[in-house]
Amino acid sequence: MAWKAGAAGGMVAGVREGAMKVTILGGGGFLGRKLAARLAADGALGGKPVEELTLFDLSPPAAPEGAGFPVRCVGGDVSDASAMSEAVPEKTSVVFHLAAVVSAAAEADFDLGMRVNLDGTRALVERCRALPAAPRVVFTSSVASFSGGQEAVLADDARQVPANSYGAQKAMGEMLLADATRKGFLDAVCIRLPTVIVRPGRPNKAASSFVSAILREPLLGLETTYPVGEEFGVWVCSPRVAVEWFVHAATMETAALGLDRGVNPPGRRVTVAEMLAALPGNARGLVRPQPDPAIEAIVSGWPAAFTAERARRLGFSETPGLDVILRGFVEDDLEATRAERAA
């Protein structure tokens, strides 16, 4: 493990009143890095200054630019109790638990998925239980924990019947965190994230890869294909709104949640046709259909719409339209993605 001071000059002189220690498990991932950058930019969470940030991932993640507080960068296995103790120091107020083996990997390697996605969450529960005060835990669950298909519009009390190990492990993690909340070990909010677009990086073997690729690749000037019909719908959110949700979940009043700690946030249903239409004209010509019945069979089981009424009542913000999502990608990630792909 490694320690790094905040990059900015503003090292804190001591613990300020109401200051808080924050941990991001999975701090090296796509969303973890964006959340760390947001905390560095704000210097605070819910009006309270951040006293110290711990970023935890398999390898010690890079500290965000410009943090006015110390940043501890820790590497380790999330299912290992001693690594978890390093990741969540004494007096931690908020843990963002974003560490996961994602869907395709958890499906290919059942043991790895169980270890990281279930045992990792269990190790976090045990660590929180050993702390003198129960921290808020913001857990990223997933729409992959549901099934239902294209025609379904899932209500807030919809049953999770996952069709993949990743979704099953996330749903078990939610169940464990809800019970740990009831027992007073921690105070959990579980956010069932929609498909996040536009994901930077390369196309991969995930069945959902095309959803980001259909927007990202043509903006990079590259050709791409989509394996489903143009009317195919997906429940999406943007990286920016996901980070908003994380911050809201970390700072909201949780009494109104009662026993049910899972939230379906207000994503947005978009179709392939709408995504194509949102691309600038020159980019749109780089995308063509290439039907793939195997991929269609998988993704057609995913629910494409949720009512998300409870989350709206609880103050979770709306996912903007595709034009705003695309602009966000261009502003935040396009250049870095281009540079990475060229390297």
Instruction: Provide, rounded to whole angstroms, the least separation between the CB of residue 124 and a second copy.
Output: 14
**Cβ distance to a second copy smaller for residue 127 or 199:** 127
> For helices 334-342 and 322-332, what crossing angle results, to 10°?
50
Distance CA 64, CA 294 (A): 40
- Return the SS3 of 244: helix
226 in catalytic set: no
Residue 176 beta carbon to a second copy: minimum distance, rounded to whole angstroms: 7
| Least Cβ distance, residue 99 to a second copy (angstroms) | 19
Measured from the CB atom, the residue of 69 and 185 that comes closer to a second copy is 185
CB 268, min distance to a second copy, A: 23
Q: Which is nearer to a second copy, 183 or 202 (CB)?
A: 183
Closest CB to a second copy among 77 and 179? Answer: 179
Contacts of 331 (CB under 8 A, 6+ apart): none
- Count, residues in the chain: 343
Looking at residue 162, its amino acid is: P
Torsion sign, CA atoms 10, 13, 15, 18: negative
Beta strands 48-57; 20-25: pairing state:
parallel
Q: Strands 20-25, 224-226: parallel, antiparallel or unpaired by DSSP?
A: unpaired
Q: Contact positions toward a second copy, by CB under 8 A?
A: 110, 114, 122, 147, 157-163, 165, 168-169, 171-172, 175-176, 178-179, 182-183, 259-260
Q: Which is closer to a second copy, CB of 113 or CB of 218?
A: 113
Name residues whose C-beta falls within 8 Å of residue 224's C-beta, 6 or more positions apart in sequence.
Answer: 203, 210, 213, 214, 217, 218, 286, 287
Farthest-apart Cα atoms in the chain, separation: 60
Min. distance of Cβ 169 from a second copy in angstroms?
Answer: 8
Strands 2-4 and 71-75 turn out to be antiparallel
User: Which is the catalytic residue, given 69, 96, 166, 232?
Assistant: 166
Q: Active-site positions?
A: 166
